[in-house]
Amino acid sequence: MRTVEWDYKLNEVRMIDQRLLPGEFKVATLSDFQQVADAITNMVVRGAPAIGASAAFGLALTAMRSKANDVQSLRTELQIAADTLRSARPTAVNLGWALDRMISATSTFDGGLVQLQELILAEAQSIADEDVEINKRMAAHGAELIEDGDTIIHHCNTGALATVDWGTALGVIRMAHEQGKRIHVLLDETRPRLQGARLSAWELEQYGVPYEIITDNSAGYFLSRGQAQKVFVGSDRTAANGDVANKIGTYMLALAAKDNGVPFYAVVPTSTIDLSIASGDLIPIEERGAEEVLDLQRAGQPISPHGAGARNPAFDVTPNRLVSAIVTENGIVQAPFDINLPKAVGGK
């Protein structure tokens, strides 16, 4: 199944509960926008494209289950739901992008209540379907950067689980594998939530791609020993100048890649490029609860003393000077990014 999808029989949203993988595969069913917002906040679903599609389906739930008697009342309900969903996670730009697209579709609508409900659901489904096609196009472009025999370092999870289906950076790796290229992947475990060790490893198992899990702080070792030829990551928001906000630890990985002359590629759907933000300094960075760091255990025992404090930024910003190229569905974008990213967004 897709990471997130609409159940047309029950008018519900179904999504893979990523908190339970790889130990258990379970599908969560959601029946209102607040449940969707909670699922985004609590990382039942995660990854910028998947978050955007989930938010769109959250508005579809509002529309299809509304008790409104007229179009204006439904518009009001949709706006309330959109405001709640928008605040679920601040860094991923796809969240606001999808909600803005959904609300925009209602603003120009001139018809009856039932037709508006159908329009909202159709628009959410379009966002989901388009994501899959966009990812496949990105994968085809990005696979051109991978050579037979490459070992690739990958951070966090950017596969089908981070999108509606297929994936961004991990989708590129999957495409190269399906093209017959002999590749090997070193997966950063990606603390504190271990998306690399849990989710990316689980996905590569399904695809039959050879991989090994490495600790986050060992990537520099492999890069310095010439044991990795490429680095591929995703992005939750990319600024107009090409600064990339991605899972915490990406910046250190990019520094190590730069120092060792290893290409560092970000795989980014254009919906994740925020041309309204000039640089990464302006990207809001989500800081999550200390418990995600402190609740980790080793051999059944807590890793930190009782009463310890912790800081837990979920993302960091990699400056454009460390980015070799940005892969989009419209092609591979080279520097200067402030000139070439707007062209990619416009499809040129």
Q: Phi and psi for 154 in degrees, rounded to 5?
A: -130, 140
pLDDT at 90: 83
Q: Which residues are catalytic?
A: 236
What does the pLDDT look like over 185-214, one tens digit per residue?
999 999 999 999 999 999 999 999 999 999
What does the pLDDT look like over 312-334, one tens digit per residue?
999 999 999 999 999 999 999 99
109 neighbors 116 (Cβ within 8 angstroms): yes
Distance in angstroms (rounded) separating the CA atoms of residues 95 and 252? 26
Which percentage of the chain shows pLDDT scores above 70?
A: 100
DSSP readout, 227-240?
Answer: ---EEEE--SEEET
Distance in angstroms (rounded) separating the CA atoms of residues 36 and 45? 9
What does the pLDDT look like over 123-178, one tens digit per residue?
999 999 999 999 999 999 999 999 999 999 999 999 999 999 999 999 999 999 99
Inter-CA distances, 275 with 139, 278, 280, 281, Å? 23, 7, 11, 13
Please give the model's pTM, rounded to 2 decimal places.
0.92
Two tokens at 156? 């966090």
DSSP readout, 189-226?
Answer: --TTTTHIIIIIHHHHHHHT--EEEE-GGGHHHHHHTT
Distance in angstroms (rounded) separating the CA atoms of residues 91 and 239? 12
E strands within 109-150? none
Catalogue all structural domains in the chain, each as residue range(s) with its CATH number. Answer: 4-136 (1.20.120.420), 137-345 (3.40.50.10470)
pLDDT at 109: 87
pLDDT at 341: 98
